[in-house]
């Protein structure tokens, strides 16, 4: 099943963390890395601290969404990811979000698919549009429309492609 993974970091060495995480994702036994967007510098959204570095990866996963998410969380933990109690969206050394998993729509205590806030975040939509320009929501809304909506509704979200 094709899946989309959002990558982000704003503590430590974010570029290096994302590069290493992509290598680790590609090395997962049941995952094949198909495409990776450029890296982008982005302003924090519902978070704090320095600007983030973000990217999106497209993978082929021969496992369940829950198994893939557990693998992504293990990679985060190996990079020193801390989840302070009571703090939502704290700055982080590495964040790996399972954004979309084929046609799967689900909500559990552990995982919601598609990711509930991905359509409100330029740091997801812009890199995603780079690797999947024809992507659309389950309701058929094209990614170009989504990007325009977010740019019009939230001018505080800044995004800039990084040269690397």
For 47-60, what is the mean pLDDT? Answer: 91
**How would you label 55-68 residue by residue, b for 16+ Cβ within 10 Å and e otherwise?**
bbbbbebebebeeb
Q: How confident is the model at residue 23 (pLDDT cuts 50, 70, 90)?
A: very high
Name the helix (H) or strand (E) containing 33: strand 31-36
Structural domain for 47, as ranges: 2-161
Task: Give Cβ neighbours of residue 99 (< 8 Å, ≥ 6 apart).
Answer: 3, 4, 5, 6, 56, 114, 115, 118, 124, 128
The closest alpha carbon to 55, from 2, 14, 89, belongs to 14
Model pLDDT for residues 7-21, shown as the tens digit of each residue: 999 989 999 999 999
Model pLDDT for residues 106-142, shown as the tens digit of each residue: 999 989 999 999 999 999 999 999 999 999 998 999 9
State the total domains in the chain.
1
CATH number at residue 83: 3.30.70.560
Phi, psi of 33 (to 5 degrees): -75, 120
Do residues 124 and 57 make contact, with C-beta atoms less than 8 angstroms apart? no
| pLDDT exceeds 60 at position 160 | yes
Phi, psi of 27 (to 5 degrees): -85, -5
- Residue 92: both structure tokens together: 């982080």
Model pLDDT for residues 72-115, shown as the tens digit of each residue: 999 998 988 665 555 555 567 899 999 999 999 999 998 999 99
Q: What residues act catalytically?
A: 81, 92, 95, 97
Whole-number Å distance between alpha carbons of 21 and 75 = 7
């Amino acid at each position: 099943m094709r899946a989309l993974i959002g990558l982000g970091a704003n503590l430590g060495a974010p570029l290096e963390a994302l590069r290493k995480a992509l290598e680790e994702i590609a090395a997962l036994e049941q995952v094949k890395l198909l495409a990776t967007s450029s890296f982008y510098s982005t302003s924090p959204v519902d978070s704090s601290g320095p600007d983030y570095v973000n990217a999106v990866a497209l993978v082929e996963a021969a496992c369940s969404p829950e198994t893939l998410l557990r693998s992504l969380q293990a990679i985060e933990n190996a990079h020193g990811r801390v989840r302070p109690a009571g703090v939502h969206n704290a700055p982080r050394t590495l964040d790996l979000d399972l954004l979309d998993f084929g046609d799967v729509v689900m909500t559990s205590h552990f995982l919601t698919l598609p990711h509930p806030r991905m359509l409100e975040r330029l740091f997801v939509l812009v890199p995603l549009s780079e690797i999947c320009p024809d992507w659309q929501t389950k309701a058929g809304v094209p990614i170009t429309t989504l990007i325009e909506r977010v740019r019009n509704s939230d001018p505080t979200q800044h995004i800039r492609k990084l040269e690397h």
